[in-house]
Amino acid sequence: MRLEPIFAGLLLLSFTAIAPALAQPADRDKTVVAEPDRSAADKANDERRKAVKILEFTGARPGVHVLDMGAGAGYSSELMARAVAPGGTVYAQNGPQVYPRVKEKLEARLATPAAKNIVNDIRPYDDPLPAGTAPLDLITFFYFYHDTTYLTVDRAKMDQALYAALKPGAYLVVADYAANKGMGTSQGKTLHRIEEATLKQEIEAAGFKLVDEGKFLRNPNDPRSEPIFHPKQPVDIFVLKFQKPR
């Protein structure tokens, strides 16, 4: 009988030790976004881009190796880099035609301590990684897939390259601005939108399987008939998670 309280106490200690570990992922995402050395410009982007939710959706964790496609000035690259530190790496990919102003902003970001695990990856979209790069755990492609529809990019080759870059079971997460049904890729340059069904079809043709959809940036009231810049209301954004089968 005297062993029962002791045993119960041991169980309580065990669950107490386990509970913080179980809560850690969600808490970590909030901590990453709240880090005090993040710039004011990045913090201003957080609400519009739902930074905590996107980190949670990607599953980025310490030690993960990531390719951030169409990184631009590096907002998402730095966010991911913070999430995968220590031990993780982020390849911030931009095409050779990246605007000089964007390139300068990214290079300034890369000079900061928070970017020490970011690799500046200037390569074609359809050949995004140097030969010999180790297989990756995650690829993010935020708000730029639509741009590849009017640039000189072989998208089928690009999607196949993304598939090849990942470990079996790893993920590709895409966020982009929704176009209306039937628009396909026709509004990539004008409205900077792409039809969700078209994007799904292209990526799945490379071998990916759609495994999850994030609803946290959807806006059914968006008429999807105007450019995404300076919108009168929040833009309807789809977030999709694809997996390379094991």
pLDDT in tens, 119-156: 999 999 999 999 999 999 999 999 999 999 999 999 99
Q: What values do phi and psi take at 128, rounded to 5?
A: -80, -10
* Other Cβ atoms within 10 Å of 219 Cβ, number: 13
In a domain, 13, yes or no: no
The least confident of 25-29, 60-64, 99-103, 160-164 is: 25-29
Residue whose C-alpha is closest to residue 213's, from 184, 234, 242, 192: 242
The length of the chain, given as a count of residues: 246
In a domain, 99, yes or no: yes
Which residue range forms the structural domain that includes residue 149? Answer: 39-243
The confidence score (pLDDT) of residue 15 equals: 39
pTM of the model: 0.89
pLDDT in tens, 175-193: 999 999 999 999 999 999 9
In degrees, rounded to 5, the angle at the alpha carbon of residue 34 between the alpha carbons of residues 23 and 39 is 155
And the tokens for 140? 């993010």
In degrees, rounded to 5, the angle at the alpha carbon of residue 183 between the alpha carbons of residues 198 and 242 is 20
In a domain, 22, yes or no: no
Q: What is the CATH number of the domain that holds 143?
A: 3.40.50.150
In a domain, 228, yes or no: yes
What is the domain count for the chain? Answer: 1
Q: Is residue 1 scored above 80 in pLDDT? A: no
Half-sphere exposure (Cβ direction) of 188: Cα atoms closer than 13 Å: 17
Average pLDDT along the chain: 92
